[in-house]
Amino acid sequence: MNKIEKSQHTHNTYDDIDLQVYGREEHNISRKQISDNALKVLYRLNGAGFDAFLVGGGVRDLLLDGHPKDFDIATNATPEEIKKLFRNCRLIGRRFRLAHIMFGRDIIEVATFRGHHQDTEKNISQQSKEGMLLRDNVYGTIDEDAERRDFSINAMYYNIADYSIHDYAGGIEDLNDKLIRLIGDPETRYREDPVRMLRAIRFAAKLDFDIEEDTADPIEQLAPLLRDIPSARLFEESLKLLQSGQGLETYHLMREYNLFQQLFPTVAQQFTEDYSSPTEEMLDLVLDSTDLRIEEGKRINPAFMFAAILWYPMTECAKQLMETRQLSEYDAIMEASNIILDEQVKSIAIPRRHTATIREIWQLQQRLSRRTGKRAYRLMELNKFRAGYDFLEMRGEVEKGETEELAKWWNTFQNAGRNMRQAMVSDLGSSGSKSGYRRRRNPRSKKAKSSQ
C-alpha cells in the first residue's frame, strides 16, 4: 500500500485506543472503490447530521488493495433514526440491533456505535460465568466502538465527512507489518467471545499475515472454550474458515492451535503425529480441491466437504459395529452414520438438508461397487451420482487398491459409448457373482497405504 504517515495524534482515556487520523492525501482509498450503495448510505446519514464511517473488513481490504466482500457502516444514529432516513431499511438482530439497507440483493449493514458493557447502569448487557458476552445492546461513542472490535486491522474507520481514516489501534502499522493483533488483553477478549480465536486464524490465512505473539499465545490453551459456542454459529464460522478459498491452510493453522480438534472431535481422534492417517490425507485432498474450485469460480457443496471430513471416522465406527454387534455392512454404515453425525452436530450444527446429502453420498459408496445388470445405468441417473463418484475418486487416491480400480472403472464407463458400456458390464458378469452385494467392501489395508 501507499506510504502512510501519522498526521494527528489525540489522546484517549483507554489504554489500547490511541487514535491516529490519516487525511485524504495520506491513504490510498478512493471513493471509486466503494460501492454506489454504500456511498449513498454514508452520504445520506452524514447529510442528516450524523457521523458516518465505513468500517471493519471494508476499510481493511481497501487499504490492502483487495476487494471487500461487503461494506459495513458505523454511525452514531440509533437504529430508529436510521430507519427514518431509509425507506428500504429493516432492523434485525437480537444480540445487537442492526439496520439493513436493502438495494435489491445488495444489503448494506449499518450499525450504531457500540458502547462498553461494563459502563452501563441499564442492564442490557449480560455476561456468563466464563466471561462470555451474552447480550450486548449498549450504544456508545466511536472510541468505545473501536475498542470493542477484535483486531487492530478491523478497527479502522473511513470518514465520509472528510475522507480521512481514523485508526484507533495501530491498524495501519499492523497492516504494513502483516500482523493480526487483538485489541486489549487477549485472554479477556477470547473469554468474552471465543470465536475470536477462529477469526484470528481465518484472517491470518486469508491475508497471509502472522498472528502477533501475545495474540497467539493463549489460543491453544483457551481453545476448549469453543465448546460453549452455539453450534449454529460454529456452522456459519466453519464455512467461512474452510470454504473461503484458503481452507487447506486454515485447517492446518487451526490444528496447530488446537482449534480444529474442538470443532471436529471424532476426526481429531484419528490424527497422527506425522499426518499420515487416511483421515488426514482425505482432509488435505478435499480442502485442496475445494480451494481450487473456489479459485475457478465453481460451485461448492458444504455437504461434500463434511462427508469427506467425516468419512473415515464413520467407516471406523462401522467396522467396530460389525465386529462388536455382528451387524451387516449395510446396517453398520447406517448406524455409524447416525452416530457420527449426531456427535458432529453437537459442535457444528450442519443443517438437515446437508446431513441428508452426506448420508446419500456415503450410501452411494456401497452401491457404486454393485454394477451388474442394469445397476450401473440406474446409478448414473441418480441425482447424487456425480457427488458419489467424485467422492469415490478421492477415496481411491487415499485407499488405492480396489477402491482406486473401482473409481477408474466408473471413469471409463461414464465416458464410454453404448457398446463399450455393455462390454464393461458383461465383463463384470463373469466375476460379478463373486463381487456381489455381501462382499467385504474396501479392505482398506494400512499396509497398502504405507507402501505409497
57 binds Mg ion (CB under 5 A): yes
Beta-strand pair 72-75/106-112: parallel
CA max distance for the chain = 85
Residue 313 binds which entry of Mg ion, ligand ATP, none, with Cβ cut-offs from 5 to 8 Å by kind? none
Q: 61, 72, 145, 174: which one is catalytic?
A: 72
Residue 287 C-beta: closest distance to Mg ion, Å: 22
Residue 346 binds which entry of ligand ATP, Mg ion, none, with Cβ cut-offs from 5 to 8 Å by kind? none
Position of minimal CB gap to ligand ATP: 57
- For 114, 150, 158, 413, the CA distances from 165, given in Å and listed in that order, are 19, 18, 5, 60
One-character DSSP codes across 253-285: HHHHTT-HHHH-HHHHTT--TTS-SHHHHHHHH
Residue 150 among the catalytic residues? yes
> Terminus-to-terminus CA distance in the chain, angstroms?
46
Residue 81 C-beta: closest distance to Mg ion, Å: 23
| Contact set for ligand ATP, span 140-179 (CB under 6 A) | 149-150, 154-155
Residues 271, 91: Cα–Cα separation, whole Å: 45
Residue 247 binds which entry of Mg ion, ligand ATP, none, with Cβ cut-offs from 5 to 8 Å by kind? none
Residue closer to ligand ATP, measured from CB, 150 or 399: 150
Q: Binding residue for ligand ATP (CB under 6 A) from 196, 255, 395, 441?
A: 196
Q: Which of 207, 93, 71 is nearest to 152 (CA)?
A: 207
Residues 192, 98: Cα–Cα separation, whole Å: 20
Retrieve residue 161's grid coordinates. 465527512
Residue 147 C-beta: closest distance to Mg ion, Å: 19
Residue 241 C-beta: closest distance to ligand ATP, Å: 10
Residue 72 among the catalytic residues? yes
| Contact set for Mg ion, span 220-259 (CB under 5 A) | none
CA 158 to chain centroid, in Å, comes to 27
Write each residue from 93 to 132 as x if it is in contact with ligand ATP (CB under 6 A), else as -, in one continuous string. ----------------------------------------
Q: Binding residue for ligand ATP (CB under 6 A) from 69, 95, 298, 446?
A: 69
401 binds ligand ATP (CB under 6 A): no
Residue closer to ligand ATP, measured from CB, 119 or 427: 119
Position of minimal CB gap to Mg ion: 57
Q: 136, 143, 150, 291: which one is catalytic?
A: 150
Residue closer to Mg ion, measured from CB, 198 or 341: 198
Residue closer to ligand ATP, measured from CB, 209 or 389: 209
Residue 70 among the catalytic residues? yes
Residue 195 binds which entry of Mg ion, ligand ATP, none, with Cβ cut-offs from 5 to 8 Å by kind? ligand ATP
Burial of 146-185, coded b for 16+ CB within 10 Å and e otherwise, reads bbbbbbbbbbbbbbbeeebbbbbbbbbbbbeeebbbbbbe
Listed in sequence order, the DSSP H helices in 164-301 are: 171-177, 186-192, 195-207, 213-216, 219-222, 231-242, 247-256, 260-263, 265-268, 278-295
Beta-strand pair 210-211/179-180: parallel
Residue 72 C-beta: closest distance to ligand ATP, Å: 5
Residue 430 C-beta: closest distance to Mg ion, Å: 60
Contact 19, 12 (CB under 8 A): yes
Torsion over CA: 293, 294, 296, 301 (sign): positive
Residue closer to Mg ion, measured from CB, 111 or 394: 111
Residues 98, 86: Cα–Cα separation, whole Å: 13
Residues 332, 191: Cα–Cα separation, whole Å: 41
Residues 166, 163: Cα–Cα separation, whole Å: 10
Residue closer to Mg ion, measured from CB, 70 or 404: 70
Residue 371 binds which entry of ligand ATP, Mg ion, none, with Cβ cut-offs from 5 to 8 Å by kind? none
Residue closer to ligand ATP, measured from CB, 149 or 444: 149
- For 52, 94, 179, 222, 229, the CA distances from 201, given in Å and listed in that order, are 30, 27, 11, 14, 17
Q: Binding residue for ligand ATP (CB under 6 A) from 19, 63, 82, 195?
A: 195
| Contact set for Mg ion, span 59-78 (CB under 5 A) | 70
Q: 18, 51, 70, 193: which one is catalytic?
A: 70
- For 232, 379, 406, the CA distances from 396, given in Å and listed in that order, are 33, 19, 8
Q: Binding residue for ligand ATP (CB under 6 A) from 19, 56, 82, 139?
A: 56
Active site residues: 70, 72, 150
Q: Which residues bind Mg ion (CB under 5 A)?
A: 57, 70
Q: Which residues bind ligand ATP (CB under 6 A)?
A: 56-57, 69, 72, 149-150, 154-155, 193, 195-196
